[in-house]
Amino acid sequence: MYINTNYQNKPLVKRMQQLWHDVHRNINIIIGFYGILMLVILMIANDLLISFPKDLTHFTTPLLPPAWSDQGNIAYFLGTDDRGRDILTRLICGILPSFGSSILVMVIVSSIGCFFGIISGIKHGLPAALLTHIFDIFLVIPSLLILLAIVTFIGPSLYAVIIAILLVLLPQTVRTIQHAVHNELEKEYVTSIRLEGASTWYILKYAVLPNITPNIISVCRQNWTAGLIYITTFGFLGLGAQPPSNEWGCILYDALDMMYSSPWVVIFPGIAILLAVLFIHLLANGMQQLFSRQG
């Protein structure tokens, strides 16, 4: 890898045009971006898009199949659950506690983790070693054990799961970014730049950060998907969001007894989780390919 000054020296308008052109040539970015954008719009404007209040029950229409079934009703497009609640409405309202919480986890963990990872990667001596060993202590303990311990101590809730996920993912993020920065600083081109008199911050800004951008994107993807999977998994186990929450994992937990008699109650929340994870991976993979080519 080397310092790419050709792209940096272009005018801002040219750079934006080139970036726009490269983005629209990558099908992974297009699918992932617009899929995530759709989820964000549904999350923000859910009150305007849902057909029924999210807690409204219709005991006269329990376990209606989807609209395309012979017994279905177009008013309940994805059917209803055992309390007559509209499944589509619950899925849309569940975007915030499921997908929205995973965004919060990703932003917090990635920001703090990248900051400390970069600092510990470029610094040497006792402070860097102390910071590294503190995070190494958490890496020795299995992640699932830490999650279960924190959730058990605080009590089953969505907030407890979010706090536990932050504490589990932060040491992994710091360690990954630290290794990426350290490995980049050990390369010959950095040594030659340093011999020419470049400062550490100059090397960090123009050499290290552009070349570890794919690593940062990979870390963000891992934190995002791990946050979403942990939130829905603990909701499914009854240790996360509690009924009558519309969190996707909680919907699965609440409908587990109806898996065989009314499979649509379980299938559609599972599809929602699958699509959200797929969109995240497609966007992240496309961005990694884009920045790897620019490097």
DSSP letter (8 states) at residue 238: T
CA distance 224 to 111: 12
* Better pLDDT: 257 or 232: 232
5-294 belongs to which CATH class? mainly alpha
Query: Is 210 in contact with 4 (CB distance < 8 Å)?
Result: yes
Nearest to 87 by CA among 42, 134, 112, 50: 50
- Residue 146 has a CB neighbour count (10 Å cut-off) of 16
pLDDT for the residue numbered 59: 72
The full set of domain ranges for the chain reads 5-294
pTM: 0.88
Q: Is 39 helix (H, G, I), strand (E, B) or coil?
A: helix
pLDDT for the residue numbered 186: 85
The predicted-structure confidence for 3-15, as pLDDT tens digits, reads as follows: 444 444 556 567 6
The predicted-structure confidence for 12-40, as pLDDT tens digits, reads as follows: 567 677 777 777 788 999 999 999 999 99
Taking phi over 0 as left and psi of -120 to 50 as alpha, with beta for the rest, 14 belongs to alpha
What is the rounded average pLDDT of the residues 204-209?
A: 86
CA distance 14 to 33: 22
The predicted-structure confidence for 149-168, as pLDDT tens digits, reads as follows: 888 888 899 999 999 999 89
pLDDT for the residue numbered 13: 66
Query: Is 277 in contact with 228 (CB distance < 8 Å)?
Result: yes
